[in-house]
Amino acid sequence: MLRMSTLFLRTLRDDPADAEVPSHRLLVRAGYIRRIAAGVYSWLPLGVITLRNIENIVRQEMDKAGFQEVHFPALLPKDAYEQTGRWTDYGPDLFRLQDRKGADYLLGPTHEEMFTLMVKGEYSSYKDLPSRSIKYRRSIAMKLVHVLELSAGANLS
């Protein structure tokens, strides 16, 4: 059992100078998160506990609704993004790198391409549908992204 007396927690009296949004100010002051760099935060123990509780609630509700969770890596191959044209559309804002063999990769800003390729590769007939899948992605605002419900009329090509 976790006790407040043993919790790694330090609250702040004053608002952080760089915080503009009320929720950001409150999360930092209450000891849930700490800023590492612009837009990059570390989760402190109280924040991790809260984050897990929220994730569990969302997962339970998605399970009840019949969704199945999938995960994708953060580092993705260039091919999928090149097919959709987003490799060039993102321009210099996209974090790109090459492996030791010279293959191009990117730090996936979204996973729509990977999700679409997964469905295309796994399903070959309208009889396989409908299917419900969900991919969670953590962000400071706890946004759920990439919720996709395929219906029997979906185009698999």
Distance CA(99)–CA(137), nearest Å, equals: 25
pLDDT for 100 equals: 93
Q: Domain limits of the chain?
A: 1-55, 65-157
Confidence of residue 104 (pLDDT cuts 50, 70, 90): very high
Phi-psi region at 104: left, alpha or beta (left = phi > 0; alpha = psi -120 to 50) = beta
pLDDT for 137 equals: 58
pLDDT above 60 for 141:
no
pLDDT for 143 equals: 37
- ∠55-141-105 over CA atoms, to 5°? 85
Highest mean pLDDT of the ranges 12-16, 111-115, 125-129, 134-138:
111-115
Mean pLDDT of all residues in 112-137: 78
Strand, helix or coil for residue 137: coil
For residue 8, what are its two tokens? 């790694």
pLDDT in tens, 12-29: 788 777 777 788 788 888
pLDDT for 102 equals: 92
